Amino acid sequence: MGKLVVGFFFILLFSAFSMATNQLKLVGNTVATLIDEKDQPARLIDLVTAGFDKLEIEVTATTQAWSGSGLRSGKFIGYIDHYSLNSQKTNYIYSLPYAKISLHIASIDDSASAINRLDQLAENRIGIERRFANTDILRVERRVKWSRADNFYENMLQISEQRVNFILADKIMLEEMNKLLIADGEKPLSLSPSSIIDVDVSVGLRSDGANAQKLLDDFNQRITALKVNGKDQEIYYPASTASSKLDPAVYNNILRKW
């Protein structure tokens, strides 16, 4: 019976990557504008797809619980959203960082513009998404009090309802939120002049997956080439003159309360 279970697992793992069909099945936790359904903006998926340019990529956007289950069962060969705030898993190998998330402090008033260190907000309650707060590094941060939110929308809701005076969030997403505020005739959020924390994002592949190291070596080379010609920025960074990648319909409730 044990041999049958092991055999079934390796069948699943092989199905996650088949050299014959050049298909690669990956997973990531759903985050608005970064990892989302096919009809929604998904900048990390787009960048990973460009990095694995010679392969057919299938990235499933789902919850952390489902992604973990799929990785353990062999349904997926790897995940695209390993944060440098977390330790690397022993049974995975990792790409070089292919994207960076710069976390800035934001406030409704101008207070954030004077913040350049986290300890300046000692004893303050700061809104933060769980994807950052629950990481190995920030989980033990004691200089501030975290007010955890399930996602960016919930984090914005906290500050719009004045449950917190500050939030720590992805600068790009804050800028996309400011586009919605400005379009609605509202004052944009104030941001800290520099990042408080920088998070590197890498791809993690199961070390026992077929050709895992070769896949990552090729991915690293392709990402390096994209960085040299600036194509990575075109994919990852929204144009400042473009409409917000955040859905106005989703944030309408927050805009009404602003």
189 and 105 belong to one structural domain: yes
Q: CA 96, CA 226: separation in Å to the nearest integer?
A: 13
Nearest to 124 by CA among 85, 178, 168: 168
Q: Write the CATH number for 150.
A: 3.40.190.10
Residue 1 predicted with pLDDT over 70: no
23 and 82 belong to one structural domain: yes
What are the tens digits of pLDDT across the range 50-101?
A: 999 989 999 999 998 889 899 999 999 999 999 999 999 999 999 999 999 9
Residue 15 predicted with pLDDT over 60: no
Q: Which H or E run includes 251?
A: helix 248-257
67 and 181 belong to one structural domain: no
81 and 150 belong to one structural domain: no
What are the tens digits of pLDDT across the range 196-218?
A: 999 999 999 999 988 999 999 99
46 and 128 belong to one structural domain: no
Helix axes 171-183, 152-160, angle to 10 degrees: 60
pLDDT of residue 218: 97
115 and 58 belong to one structural domain: no
User: What rounded mean pLDDT belongs to the chain?
Assistant: 92
- Report pTM: 0.90
48-58 as b/e: b if 16+ CB within 10 A: bbbbbeebebe
92 and 127 belong to one structural domain: no
23 and 80 belong to one structural domain: yes
Lowest mean pLDDT among 2-16, 74-88, 160-174, 194-208: 2-16
Tokens standing for 141?
Answer: 């941060």
95 and 210 belong to one structural domain: yes
Residue 5 predicted with pLDDT over 60: no
94 and 116 belong to one structural domain: no
What are the tens digits of pLDDT across the range 28-45?
A: 999 999 999 988 999 999
Number of folded domains in the chain?
2
Q: Cβ(205)–Cβ(92) under 8 Å?
A: yes
Coil, strand or helix at 199: strand
Tokens standing for 5?
Answer: 């279970």
39 and 167 belong to one structural domain: no
Mean pLDDT for 136-151 is: 96
Among all chains, which residue has been given the structure tokens 């990552």?
216
pLDDT of residue 19: 41
Q: Which residues contact 166 (CB under 8 A, 6 or more apart)?
A: 105, 106, 107, 111, 112, 115, 121, 124, 126, 127, 159
16 and 83 belong to one structural domain: yes
Q: CA 135, CA 117: separation in Å to the nearest integer?
A: 19
Nearest to 136 by CA among 87, 68, 206, 72: 87
Residue 150 predicted with pLDDT over 80: yes
Residue span of the structural domain in which 149 resides: 100-198+243-257
Residue 10 predicted with pLDDT over 60: no
